[in-house]
Structure 1
Amino acid sequence: MELEVRVSKNQPFRQSDSGGTPLDHGQPTSGIGDTASLQILVHDPDPTTMAISASKGKVTATFTVYVTLSPSGPSIEQFKEQFINLVRSIDF
């Protein structure tokens, strides 16, 4: 699995940035910064976009991953858990 993690200060993830069908409109995600939310956009046939917007003190960061799912591979839920755990390990 290849992950691309981009950190953008003060530039929150917006649905209009990448289009797609929202699977998750921003569920609260614990264990990342002071506050964080996860957003998932499903693109057909393009990769699914998952983004976590987090804040810690005065710093705001957006972590984005593009995932191409295959019928025989991990599910969206499995990728979501891996992505959340990856972001939890980043000290921003």
Structure 2
Amino acid sequence: MEYLSLFCRDECVEVRHLARIVRGIELSEPPRQIGSKEYESAYNGLIQTHLPKLAAHGVVEYNDTRKTVTPTSRVRQYALLAQFARYLR
């Protein structure tokens, strides 16, 4: 979420790029060093679960056909809330 908030509103991001970034953050590794198995796991999780849910809540626009994500104006709000929630743990 925080990564998506760095993009300009209405700027498309490819899901394959996003999957490498997410998995790299999870594994604390540079995205270019993410293996295909790790990449596929993140990619499948994004397209099957996370992106449709974020789209349903208006945080992103998800184009399932093109496999692209476009942040909406709400993405920054959700990123801020996610950051705040981490501090409460």
Normalising by structure 2, we get a TM-score of 0.31
* Larger helix proportion of the pair: 2
Question: Greater RCO between the two (CA within 8 Å, min separation 6)?
Answer: 2
Structure with more strand by fraction: 1
TM-score, reference length from structure 1:
0.30
